[in-house]
Amino acid sequence: MKKIETICALATAVGQSGIGIVRISGPLSQSIAKQVLGVELEPRVAYYGEFYGQEGDIVDKGVAIFFPSPNSYTGEDIIELQGHGGMSILRCLLETASHFGARLAEPGEFSKRAFLNGKMDLVQAEAVQDLIQASSDQSARCAVRSLSGEFSAKINNVLSSIISLRVFVEATIDFSDEEIDFLESDEVLSKIESLKLELQDILDSASQGAILREGLHVAIAGKPNAGKSSLLNSLTKQPSAIVTEIAGTTRDVLKETIQIDGLPLHIIDTAGLHNSDDIVEKEGIRRAHAEIDSADVVLLVYEAQEQSADYSILSDSMTNKPIVTIRNKIDLLGEEAEIIEQDKQFSISLSAKTGNGIDLLRELLIKIAGYNPVGEGVFLARKRHLLAIASALKYIKIALRQLESGASELVAEDLRQASMSLGAITGEFSSDDLLGEIFSSFCIGK
């Protein structure tokens, strides 16, 4: 069996602070703590005293706590050294722990060990990172739901129902001579229909969670002096961008994040799109096109005095992306703000300078995102969760068609595929590559 290594890491943010925490996990934790503290710790009892460096000199005074296996975050012996938050002190403690047998932890390794030791499933482990990175109260609450196991419970309940039904189907196939009329069983049909509805409900909820987690990336595009920077300032309600009457004031990409009913909105102001021989402007325009191409929604701004928006300044890749035309500077014409929808295309007349019509734009962006700010039971979800739930739903729908056509042996296989898809969400069926990809994005010390 592979030897379990002892790991250590700084569990608080890098920089000066009142308190800094060094976390140690693994079989050598107690012996390292004795070297650092000079005493043996009692489980779950805070000890206050000197911290010693590897040369035996006092480097700090603080609090130490011992969490014995298996009742710890990782399921292993854990020591937390809580000292002052100076980087030289914390670096010394890490070097001391390394000297006595620990190695520096990889990103997310503490949470990865918690998952591998059965302290949490994969959804809960991911929720740890989502809770740390939550940019709104709403997203934090949704992350807590996932961390507490509500999302996992829903997945596991459906998974249990699929497995039970699959067992029945396979038993029917094995004992077909017993005249068990599976194909005409309304009960089986009803159960599969119920599974389809449950999965659709979970997918809808998870989709809302994914929107809440990722937010909406909105690029503001247009010709020079169309009022793009004024629109950014009006949306963010602060002077984020420099606004002048001189065309081409914005030469680089400017990004700001706001919230609308809890939905993170990532707004990107770009350089004016036009032909230029200026080397700086050309680079700004190149960066503008890159941001516009990768955005979820594009706001194409033009002046109200013009006949219409000029779509030719956008690249051909915009065909499958929502584009909202913004008819700006209506205050110069004495007009009122309005929104027009035609063939699922939206146009808004507004004044970025006065703010007239900005609320219409905010409401429209919520609508385009498909976000329901009053949705109940929403969990923060990732793209892999959505793909797995959608895959399970696809196989359940196929199973229904197989049942109607009389191919019972294929129903069993579809149910197996559905269970495999759902099992990948919580980590019941997961590859080392998937685990590596997930935990490598965590912060070190978590």
Q: Using one digit for the tens of pLDDT, what is the confidence trace for 212-240?
A: 888 889 999 888 888 888 888 888 887 76
Domain identity same for 201 and 232:
no
Domain identity same for 170 and 219:
no
Higher pLDDT among residues 169 and 96, named by residue: 96
Q: Please give the biggest Cα pair distance in the chain.
A: 86
Whether residue 165 is contained in a domain is answered as yes
Whether residue 446 is contained in a domain is answered as no
Query: Under DSSP, is residue 62 helix (H, G, I), strand (E, B) or coil?
Result: strand
Tally the domains of the chain: 3
Domain identity same for 41 and 91:
yes
In order of 111, 169, 198, the CA distances from 404 in angstroms are 45, 14, 20
Q: Residue 130 corresponds to which amino acid? A: D
The Cα 195–Cα 193 span in angstroms is 5
The label of the residue with tokens 């302290």 reads 119
Residue 39 has pLDDT above 90, yes or no: yes
The Cα 218–Cα 364 span in angstroms is 12
95: Cβ–Cβ under 8 A, 6 or more apart, which residues? 53, 54
Query: Under DSSP, is residue 6 helix (H, G, I), strand (E, B) or coil?
Result: coil
What is the mean predicted confidence (pLDDT) over 84-105?
94
The Cα 368–Cα 100 span in angstroms is 56
Whether residue 375 is contained in a domain is answered as no
- CATH number of the structural domain spanning residue 45: 3.30.1360.120
Closest CA to 151 of 94, 210, 89: 210
- DSSP type of residue 5: P
3-state helix, strand and coil shares in percent for the chain, rounded to the nearest 5: 45, 20, 35
- CATH number of the structural domain spanning residue 179: 1.20.120.430
345-349/17-25 β-pairing: unpaired
The residue from 309, 342, 369 where one domain ends is: 369
Residue 350 sits in which domain range? 215-369
Domain identity same for 96 and 21:
yes
Q: pLDDT tens across 317-359, in order?
A: 666 788 999 999 999 999 999 999 887 789 999 999 999 999 9
What is the mean predicted confidence (pLDDT) over 75-84?
96
Domain identity same for 255 and 348:
yes
The residue from 325, 341, 369 where one domain ends is: 369
Query: 114: pLDDT confidence band, cut at 50, 70 and 90?
Result: very high
pLDDT of residue 137: 76
H or E element at residue 251:
none
Q: Residue 303 corresponds to which amino acid? A: E
296: Cβ–Cβ under 8 A, 6 or more apart, which residues? 216, 217, 218, 321, 322, 369
Whether residue 200 is contained in a domain is answered as yes
